[in-house]
Structure 1
């Protein structure tokens, strides 16, 4: 199993997960040209994509979806509510409904040799989900746009060996920043985004002996810095008494370019 963050941030998200037999994208929130370029850097042919797993319909997750669908005829997996919302976004252009694959939270499905597990998240979108992907005993988890995390989220992500998790904002930067009050309230609310501190606390619940890589993703451009996200999460982890808190590589996913491809 491999993972590469092609782009991750409040301005656009696209994650590659795959292996020798199966190639998937989680979201397509950047231009088709940037997706093609990112896939080229890791020697993945976009014509060989087996699916795009959509988390929800916000533009930073679907910006390039229409062009990708028309150019490569790649199946699009999402909840019925998300697919309905996508059909109303005029900027995406027309997408062949024959490419749509309806999924449901908590109902796993197979794409070739991998098992995809969608799970519900608390975010202000139309029945949004995140995903874990399993193959031959290995597990990869990608979870962003989390208003909150709870036992259900922890259970869904448990035993992942590669994780990409949201560290969206520094709470103090957001509170004293220029965003209007309504937007601040949305981001801090239960249907908003996960802070650096809460990301670190979530990871503390996910530590285990086989965890190898963690990427911090979906950072806000206005209310966070990569070094701040890293140090805040690292501080939270240092408070843990787990023997596994230093067993993995912790990095911040890049906003504008692909991060290093990691594999199990």
Structure 2
């Protein structure tokens, strides 16, 4: 797997098995997604499925062009499809597939489960991917991590986990107060500290890697996110030096391929 890009300006994650490969979201331009995949030694022509989490532009920016150029099956829930259509993004009916919350589908040899999150989109959902006793969970764009969400993602080998903002940077930053309230709300984004407390509840001995994702361009920096998460996890005696690796993600550069 590789996080192709993550942040306020665009999000996309790549996962492959010997049976094929998929993308979670296409929040970059089609050209930039192709360039990112090329650095990994693959291309959009090799992608077997695209899973959409919600309709915000930083998750579907490249959807229209990608769907037009490549005959890739695209999965989203019913409400999200309606919002995508309202944005004027027309998708060939033969490429549209419904994947509603709490459903399970087999895609490229993985058991893929969807689950709802708390975010100000119409019906946002994220996914877990399981195969051969290995599990990857992707969870960003949520105002908080409920016990129900924790139960679904717990015991993963690898997480792509939101660590959106530093609360003090956000409070003192340039955003209008109404925007700050939205981000801090239960339908906004989780802070570094809140993310770490949620991680503490889902990490198990099998967990080896956590990608800190969806960092705010204005209200966070990689070093601060990692330091904040480390401090909280270390308080719970979770070893972030030798047992679990906290990994950066970038708004423009893919992470190196990691084999779970």
The TM-score range, normalised by the shorter chain, is over 0.9
Mapping of residues 1-264 of structure 1, within 5 Å = 3-90=1-88, 92=89, 94-242=90-238, 246-264=242-260
Deviations 1:58-112 (A, max 9, x none): 000000011111111111111100011001113x4x3212211111111111113
Is the partner of 2:202 in helix, strand or coil?
coil
Shift of 1:203: 1.1
Per-residue deviation, residues 88-139 of structure 1 (Å, max 9, x unmatched): 113x4x3212211111111111113111100000001111100011111111
Q: Which moved more, 1:247-256 or 1:223-232?
A: 247-256
Cα RMSD after superposing both structures: 1.3
Deviation of the 1:37 alpha carbon:
0.9
For the residue of structure 2 that corresponds to 1:263, the secondary structure is: coil
Cα offsets for 1:158-203 (capped at 9, x unmatched)? 1111111000000011111111111111000000001000111111
How many positions carry a matched residue from both structures? 260
Structure 2: gaps of 5 or more residues: none
8 Å Cα contact 1:237/1:245 also seen in 2 = no
Off by >2 Å, runs of 4+ in structure 1: 241-246
2: CA distance, partners of 1:42 / 1:256? 14
Q: Distance in 2 between matches of 1:77 and 1:159?
A: 25
What is the CA distance between 1:212 and its match in structure 2? 1.4
For residues 253 and 232 of structure 2, what CA distance do their matches in structure 1 show? 27
Give CA-to-partner distance per residue, 1:206-249, whole Å, 9 cap, x none: 22111111100000001111100010000011111357885121
- TM-score if structure 2 supplies the norm length? 0.97
Task: Indicate the SS of the match to 1:9.
Answer: coil
